[in-house]
């Protein structure tokens, strides 16, 4: 029988208190933000601290307490005084406006690679003289490239270091992409979404085409009314997608969906044709009043349309190229 008293090391309780203290100081703005990815850059020091506690903490609890206190004090000191000597955690929040003038531009291609930040895209005011004006609050590095004169191509993307998947921030800064596009020129938009939500209100824009991969964040898309036909390609993952179609506009919508739900809202009495090549395992809900067409044999599942589709001035063509486990509702 072991009659020796057992002492429990104070290392882990002190370390937990230290984590809460660092989090609080970061939220109060007293120290720079910290992320798990930046902490792991100091993994050799972490191994030394854990090893010291394993060697001495069980036999001499006061040693574990001292090691824990020194570890917490070292992290706080690094965050408070590190920027003064050029040491940062690379999670500093920055806010910038990226813009390019409209003068001389006849058509525009926009390419957006978004991240975990929420994204808002809408039309600029008619009296705005910019082709694009984007207010971005971000961490990492932003790429903003503009090329061409008459036909202008704009690239926007955000880059992080190779530990970005570990950057679970202890702060709650309002990261966002707020993008305004000129309604004066025809536009082709390509958007590759991340985990952040996407809200695109394209009302007023001259849209030629829209291609979007919505990622895992939820997406709300409002298409513009137009006298010219345009195309919309939506590829979705686990995030839900809600798309609102305009009245008196012809466009072709292709859907390739994943596990998230997809909801397409069309105007009442619109002329609609729906071609289904894959119904997947998710439910498929189509509008009332559609008729199965005689050429349905050329599709894997079938084709349906409203009685007035062939003679209508404005037509909406929906092509379901692929459906995963998420539901698709067209109403």
Q: How many residues does the chain have?
A: 331
Q: Are 111 and 134 in contact (CB under 8 A)?
A: no
Instruction: Give yes or no for a contact between 220 and 203, defined as CB atoms under 8 angstroms apart.
Output: no
Summarised one tens digit per residue, pLDDT across range 156-195 is 998 765 444 444 454 445 789 999 999 999 999 999 998 8
Annotated domain spans of the chain: 11-85, 93-209, 225-331
Q: Can you give the pLDDT at residue 5? A: 54
Q: What percent of the chain has pLDDT over 90?
A: 55
Q: How does residue 281 score in pLDDT terms, banded at 50, 70 and 90?
A: confident
| Distance, CA of 86 to CA of 157 (rounded, Å) | 26
pLDDT value, residue 132? 98
As a whole number of angstroms, the distance between CA 87 and CA 82 comes to 4
**Residue linked to tokens 């006849």:** 106
Q: What is the DSSP string of 66-127?
A: HHHHHHHHHHHHHHHHGGGGT---S---EEEEEEEE-TT--EEEEEEE--SS-EEEEEPPTT
> In what order do the strands lie in the sheet containing 230-235?
141-147, 151-159, 107-113, 186-192, 206-213, 230-235, 251-256, 315-322, 271-276, 302-305, 291-292
Give bridge partners of residue 112 from the DSSP assignment. Answer: 156, 191
8 A C-beta contact, residue 141 and residue 158: yes
State pTM to two decimals: 0.76
Q: Which residues are CB-neighbours of 278 under 8 A, at least 6 positions away?
A: 300, 301, 320, 321, 322, 323
Q: Average pLDDT for residues 290-308, to the nearest whole number?
A: 87
Taken in order 295, 247, 270, 243, the sign of the CA dihedral is positive
Angle subtended by helix axes 61-81 and 11-27, to nearest 10: 20
pLDDT per residue over 25-80, tens digit each?
A: 766 766 666 655 556 566 676 777 777 777 776 677 777 777 778 877 777 777 66
Position 253 confidence tier, pLDDT thresholds 50, 70, 90: very high
Q: Which two tokens stand for residue 77?
A: 């000191």
Who has greater pLDDT, 193 or 209?
A: 209
Summarised one tens digit per residue, pLDDT across range 287-297 is 988 999 988 87
């Amino acid at each position: 029988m072991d009659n020796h008293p057992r002492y429990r090391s104070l290392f882990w309780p002190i370390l937990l208190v230290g984590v809460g203290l660092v989090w609080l100081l970061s939220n109060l703005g007293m120290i720079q933000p910290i992320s798990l990815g930046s902490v792991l850059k100091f993994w050799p020091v972490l191994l030394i601290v854990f090893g010291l506690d394993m060697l001495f903490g069980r036999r001499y609890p006061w040693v574990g307490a001292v090691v824990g206190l020194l570890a917490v004090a070292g992290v706080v000191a690094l965050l408070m005084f590190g920027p003064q000597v050029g040491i940062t955690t690379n999670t500093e929040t920055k806010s910038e406006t990226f813009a390019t003038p409209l003068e001389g531009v006849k058509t525009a291609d926009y390419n957006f690679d978004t991240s975990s930040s929420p994204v808002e895209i809408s039309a600029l005011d008619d009296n705005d003289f910019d082709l694009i004006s984007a207010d971005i609050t971000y961490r990492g590095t932003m790429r903003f490239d503009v090329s061409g004169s008459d036909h202008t191509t704009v690239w926007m993307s955000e880059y992080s270091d190779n530990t970005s998947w570990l950057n679970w921030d202890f702060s709650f800064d309002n990261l966002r992409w707020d993008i305004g596009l000129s309604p004066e020129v025809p536009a082709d938009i390509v958007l590759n979404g991340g985990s952040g939500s996407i809200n695109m209100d394209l009302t007023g824009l001259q849209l030629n085409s829209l291609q979007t991969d919505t990622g895992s964040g939820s997406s709300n898309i409002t298409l513009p009314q137009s006298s010219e036909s345009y195309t919309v390609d939506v590829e979705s993952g686990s995030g839900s997608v809600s798309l609102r179609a305009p009245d008196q506009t012809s466009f072709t919508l292709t859907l390739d969906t994943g596990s998230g739900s997809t909801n397409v809202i069309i105007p009442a009495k619109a002329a609609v044709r729906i071609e289904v090549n894959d119904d997947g395992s998710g439910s498929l809900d189509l509008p009332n009043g559609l008729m199965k067409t005689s050429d349905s044999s050329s599709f894997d599942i079938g084709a349906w349309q409203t009685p007035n589709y062939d003679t209508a001035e404005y037509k909406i063509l929906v092509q379901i190229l692929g459906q995963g486990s998420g539901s698709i509702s067209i109403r």
